Structure 1
Amino acid sequence: MRILITGAVGFLGMHTASRLNAAGHELIGIDNFNDYYDPQLKHARHAKIRSFCKVHKVDLAELDAVKAIIAEFKPNVIVHLAAQAGVRYSMQDPMAYVQANVAGHTSVLEACRILGADFSHLVYASSSSVYGGNRKIPFSESDEVNDPVSIYAATKRAGELLASTYAHLFRVQAIGLRFFTVYGPWGRPDMAYWSFTRDILAGTPIRIFNHGKMMRDFTYIDDVVDGILAMVERSPTFENTSRPHRVYNIGNNNPEKLMDVVGLLETLLGKPAVKEFVEMQSGDVVQTYAEIEAAARDYGFSPSTSIELGLSRFVAWYKEFHGYSGLDKSPDLTVYR
C-alpha cells in the first residue's frame, strides 16, 4: 500500500515507518521538525528512515501544502501521528496545541476528502489523557470523556470529535488510538522515564510528583506499533455505518507503580536516585489503566513486553546513544543532519 505518515520523525512515527517499510509498503512522511524538544534528536531519527521514506518539512496547519502532498502521493492509508505532546507545556503555550492538535488535525481530515476510491482509511493518534480524572478503572472506550483536566487532553478529545463528525458528514473512515504512556528507545526527552534516567546517571535530583503515589500503564513501543500495523493493514468495519469512526485503547492493561519504576531504573543503572518528592502537578492524573478487549477482539492486539524488559532495552539504547562513560553528556548529533 501507499501510506503517508504524519509526525514521521517523532518517536512513534520513526518506529512505525520502519516497520511499515519492512512489511513492503511505499511511504512518505510529513513533519515540521519543531523545537518542543531538541530537534537534533528528530534529525537522528530521520537518519534512520530517510532512505525509504521521504519526509516533507511542512506544518500540518498549512492546509494547501498538506493537500498538495496528499493529492500527488494518493495514499491508500494515512497514519496521523503528528501532535503537540506534553501536559505541562500545554499550560504554558495553549495555542501551540490548538495549532497542532486541532488545526493540523483538521487539515488531515480535509485532505482525506479529496482522495478517491483508492483511499481506505485514516488511523490517527489520540491519547489516554482524554479520560481525565476518571476514577473507574480500567478505562474503557465506552466511558464518558467530557471532563479533560489539561489543555492537551482537551485538544486530543477535540480531535476525536472532529474525526467522528468527518466520518458522519463526508464518509472519512477513521480509527483513533488512545495511547497509554508509550516508552522505549528513541523516545521523547520530556517523558518521566527518560528524565529519571538522565538525572540518575548525572546524580541530580529527580522530581517525583504526588509523593510517588501514581500509577501508569506503561506500553512498550514495539507492542504499540504491532497495534498500529494491524489497524493500517486491515480495512476496518464499523458497527455504526452512518458514522464510520471508532476509538481503541492501546495500552499494556497492567499499570505500574511509579516508585517501582524508579526502583527498576536504579537497578538497571546501578545507581541510587536522589529523590525530591513534590505535590501533584496541575493537569496530571493519579492513575491510567487501559481496558484493551476491543483492540484484542478486532485486531488481535496483545502487548507482551514486561516493564523490566522494556526499560532494560531503553537504558541500553540510552547509554549507547549518549556515549555514556561514567558522566552523562549531551550527544553530538550534528552528524545526523
Structure 2
Amino acid sequence: SEIELEFVPIEHMYRILDEHLPNIIDKDEADLRTMLKKNWEDLLTESEHRQEELSLKQVQYRKELVKTVNAFKKDVQKFRVEYERSGPMVKGIPPREAVERLKRFREEYDVRGRKQVIYYVGEDLFGVPHQQYPSLDQTKQELAYLGQLYDLYVAVLETIKEWRDYLWFEVPEHMDTMQKTIDSFAGRCKKMPKQLRDWPAYNELKKEIEDFQEVLPLLMELGKPSIMPRHWQQVMEITGQELPIESENFKLQSLIDASLNEFTDEISDICESADKQLIIESKLKEISTQWDGMYFDFAGWKQRDYPCILVGAKVGETQEMLEETMMNLNTMNAQRHSMPFKEELTTLLTTLSDTGDTIERWFK
C-alpha cells in the first residue's frame, strides 16, 4: 500500500545509522522504531477484522433496506389511493375544506418525501438499484399546482380579515399599502393557470379581490377630511346600515359589511358634494374673517379737530368690495351643494346688503 511504501526510506535511513553510527539514537526512539512495523501490522489485522464484520452486517442492512423500501412502495400506493379519494382535488368540495385537505396532504407528503431521499442515499450506499415512485412524484406536482391557487386564496382571505379589524381612524394611513397589496393579489390571480380557473376557489378568490378593489376607492373618498357626520348620515340612509361613526370601536368591518360597492354612484356623489361643500365652507370663513376686520377711515371737517366724516376714497373701495362679495355669495347660494350653509349664507347676504344700504345713505 501507499503507507507501506513510506516505510521503505525510513527503514533505509535507520540501517545507515546502525552501520555508521550505531549508538546515535536513544532508547525511546529505538523502542518506537521497533514498534512501528508491529503497530502497522496490528492495524492491518484490525482493519481486516472490521471489514469482515461490516461485510456480514452489510448483507443484513441491505436486506433491511430492501424490505423497508418494499414497505414504503406499498405505503406510497395507499397514500395515492387516499389522496385521490379524499384529497384537495376531489371535485365539488367547498374551497375552505379543500384548503384544509391541501394542508393535511402536504404534511403527509413531506414525511414520505423525506423518506424517499433517505432511501435513495441508502441505495447508493449499498449498491441497490434506485426505486421509482411515479405516484408520489405525481402527487408532489399536483400539490404544488394546487398550491398556486389555494395559497393565494388563503393569503387574500387572511389579509382582508386583518384589514377588517382596522379601526376606521387607522385606515387612511394604510390605504397605500392596501392598494398595492390588493393590486398584487389581482395580478397573481390573473396569471393563474387556465386549468385552475374552473375551480370554485378561483371564482370565490376573484370575487373577493374584485369586490375589495371596487370598495377601496370609496373608502379613500370617505376617509377625506371633507366628510362630516351629515355625510355619514346620508351613507347610512342609502345603504340602510347603521354605522357606529361616533364609537371609538368603529372598524372597517362595518363599512365592508355595508356593501358600499352596491351604491358606488350614490356614495361617490356624496363624497363629491362633501369636497365642494368644504370649499364653500372655507370661502364663507374667509369672507367672514375679511369683513370682521373691515373698518372705516374718518377725517376732520372744517374747524373741528376730531375725525367726524367718512373718507370718500375708502368708502368707494368698500362699496366695490361689498358688491363683489355679495355677487360671490349669491353664486354660492345658487349651488346645490350649499344646502348645509343656507342659513349662514342668507344671514351674511342680508348683513352685507344692509351694510351697503347704510353706507350709501351715509355717503349721500
Say whether the fold is shared (TM-score over 0.5).
no
Question: Highest CA radius of gyration, 1 or 2?
Answer: 2
- The structure richer in helix per residue is 2
TM-score where L is the length of structure 1? 0.21
TM-score where L is the length of structure 2? 0.20
Determine which structure has greater relative contact order: mean sequence separation of CA pairs < 8 Å that are 6+ residues apart, divided by chain length. Answer: 1
